[in-house]
Amino acid sequence: MEICLTNINRIHDVLITDIQRRLFKQYNQRKDEFNITDEDYDVQQTLLVDSVLHCETLNDVNDVVCNNQDIFDDYDSINVFTLEGTMNYIFKLLR
């Protein structure tokens, strides 16, 4: 499903903001045994922004969400990995 060009920038913005927030939360909850560094966090942020900015369809957004599934740990995020769930996730972010 193609995303209308007039909406794509807004979807990119809310998606980046939400996933960055989730990554930051995960980063702050890290355990010493994983030895996660600030550089790892920066690389993950860079890859995230790059992947989101290349999203042009709902399927692309679903791929980004599925590739970052470890940050969707709350009960409300269980259905986000389906195409319909991703669409509802985006609608929720846009409200």
Residues 35-67 pLDDT 10s: 667 787 888 889 999 999 999 999 999 999 989
**Which pLDDT belongs to residue 77?**
66
* Residue 61 near residue 15, CB atoms below 8 Å: yes
Percentage of residues of the chain with pLDDT beyond 90: 44
Mean pLDDT for 1-12 is 88
